[in-house]
Amino acid sequence: MSGSEQAARWSVAIASEQALVADAVRVSLASRDFRTSTLRWPGEQGQRRSSGRESHDVGLLLSDLDRWPRLRAACLMIARFSVPWVVLTEAPEGPMWGAVLDAGARIVLPSSTGLDEVGKVVVAVATGQLATPVAERERLIASWWELLQRRDMLEQRLHTLTPRENEVLRLLYAGDPVSRIAELLEVSPATVRSQVKAVLRKLDVNSQLSAVAIVGDMATFIGEPGDELLAAL
């Protein structure tokens, strides 16, 4: 059986937060004789963009997985449609790969993978001949759960800050030095330094750089770096 005949046996559902990307991949795979359709991304307005039949043999999900809303939507899509999923992502191998594997994805590939290779992987996954090796899958999922635990710990520490300490941390994250923060808050530099010390103590870090890094770490789970969490404190 030729590659074209083999591809034509399989219906591929394509999902991406970027409609144009999903459509481009759909057209490209259709040109390789796959039966293809696109699924509406969770939260997307309007009608589903689709072509082809509604039952699918395999899913292909494309996402950067670089923010919590995107990651959550990707995991929801994987859980919602009970097909073997192949995920293509810009995210480096690590916790985000573990997240989608934990949600039920069969295999994760870097987005640099060529579409010819993707087509081969799709067929192999659809036929049950390819999946992430068990040891690798367990390692990646464990890294995801470790990241979740770190998120919970950091969130608890951030919630111990007073409103003024939160404001000081926000300004530090923005790159403002102590002198500028004192000017903006209309207090003395000594007062700001005292508040910075309190922030470092509550976050259990030894430097302003480490405190700012915590806010950056939380950006993994929040739309914009730290804004939503810090605004809620």
Q: What is the pLDDT of residue 184?
A: 94
**Which phi and psi (to 5°) does residue 16 adopt?**
-160, 150
Q: What is the pLDDT of residue 50?
A: 46
Q: What is the pLDDT of residue 220?
A: 58
Q: Domain 159-232: which CATH class?
A: mainly alpha
Phi-psi group of 123: left, alpha or beta (phi > 0 → left; psi -120 to 50 → alpha; rest → beta)? alpha
Q: Which residues of the chain have pLDDT under 70?
A: 1-8, 44-54, 219-233
Global pTM value? 0.78
Phi-psi group of 127: left, alpha or beta (phi > 0 → left; psi -120 to 50 → alpha; rest → beta)? alpha
Q: What is the pLDDT of residue 52?
A: 42
Assign domain 3-141 one CATH number from 3.30.420.40, 3.40.630.30, 3.40.50.2300, 3.30.460.20.
Answer: 3.40.50.2300
Q: What is the pLDDT of residue 25?
A: 95
Q: Can you spell out the DSSP letters for 4-34?
A: HHHHTT-EEEEEESSHHHHHHHHHHHHTTT-
Continuous segment of H or E residues that includes residue 114: none
Q: What is the pLDDT of residue 26?
A: 94
Alpha-carbon distance of 168 to 187, in angstroms, equals: 11
**Range(s) for CATH 1.10.10.10 in the chain?**
159-232
Q: What is the pLDDT of residue 154?
A: 86
**Range(s) for CATH 3.40.50.2300 in the chain?**
3-141
* Bridge partners, residue 86, by sequence: 60, 107
Find, among 179, 164, 158, the residue nearest to 225 by Cα.
158
Q: What is the pLDDT of residue 18?
A: 92
Rg (CA), the chain: 23
Continuous segment of H or E residues that includes residue 175: none
Q: What is the pLDDT of residue 218?
A: 74
Kindly report, residue by residue over 46-87, the tens digit of the pLDDT.
544 444 446 899 999 999 998 888 899 999 999 999 899 999
Alpha-carbon distance of 66 to 188, in angstroms, equals: 39
| Cβ 200 vs Cβ 158: under 8 Å | no
For the beta sheet containing 35-38, the strands, ordered from the edge strand earlier in sequence to the opposite edge, are 35-38, 11-16, 58-63, 85-89, 107-110
Cα 13–chain centre separation: 20
Q: What is the pLDDT of residue 53?
A: 44
